[in-house]
């Protein structure tokens, strides 16, 4: 049997620990890992809900989409449907809901640590804020 000291597992910075900068990762449901999300984005499924159409979104329209089952977020003037990503977000649904139906640019900039976050947004982009 492998004898691993308790302080060595889980490794610091792993999903079982608080991430750098005080951000907390939450346990995700089975089938909601990063790899599961990547598979979904490559499946060809329409994750925007608009079948590839690009639209202009007013502040009033954006504000209507502020629920977990219908959540749009604006980042740097671009609007994203994050509804399909709710159960996959490593910080949990509550983190995304902080910007639901609003401009989440400041929140996004506070927590993103690498450029990889933009990759996760591209499949959900469908419009510009008017």
CB-CB contact of 83 with 70 (8 Å)? yes
**Which residue, among 83, 69, 87, 77, has the nearest Cα to 124 in the 3D structure?**
83
- Which pLDDT band, with edges at 50, 70 and 90, does 4 fall under? very low
pTM of the predicted model, to two decimals? 0.70
What's the pLDDT band for 130 if we cut at 50, 70, 90? low
Average pLDDT over residues 99-109: 91
Q: Which fold has domain 25-129?
A: Flavocytochrome B2; Chain A, domain 1 (3.10.120)
Give the pLDDT score at 103.
93
Alpha-carbon distance 69 to 54, whole Å? 21
Residue 44 is given by DSSP the state: T
Q: Is a pLDDT exceeding 90 seen at residue 51? A: no
Asked whether 27 and 16 are in contact (CB, 8 A), the reply is no
Across the range 44-54, mean pLDDT stands at 82
End-to-end CA, the chain:
61
pLDDT band at 78 (very low <50, low <70, confident <90, very high): confident
Domain range summary for the chain, segments of one domain joined by + = 25-129
Confidence tier at 9 by pLDDT (50, 70, 90): very low
């Amino acid at each position: 049997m492998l004898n691993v000291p308790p302080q060595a597992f889980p490794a610091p910075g792993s999903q079982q620990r608080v991430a750098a900068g005080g951000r907390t990762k939450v346990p995700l449901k089975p089938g909601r890992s990063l790899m599961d999300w990547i598979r979904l984005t490559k499946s060809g499924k329409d994750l925007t809900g608009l079948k590839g159409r690009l639209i202009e979104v007013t502040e009033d329209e954006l504000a209507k989409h502020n629920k977990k089952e219908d959540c749009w977020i604006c980042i740097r003037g671009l609007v994203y449907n994050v509804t399909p990503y709710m159960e996959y977000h490593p910080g949990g649904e509550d983190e995304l809901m902080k910007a639901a139906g609003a401009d989440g640019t400041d929140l996004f900039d506070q927590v993103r640590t690498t450029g990889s976050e933009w990759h996760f947004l591209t499949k959900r982009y469908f419009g510009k804020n008017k």
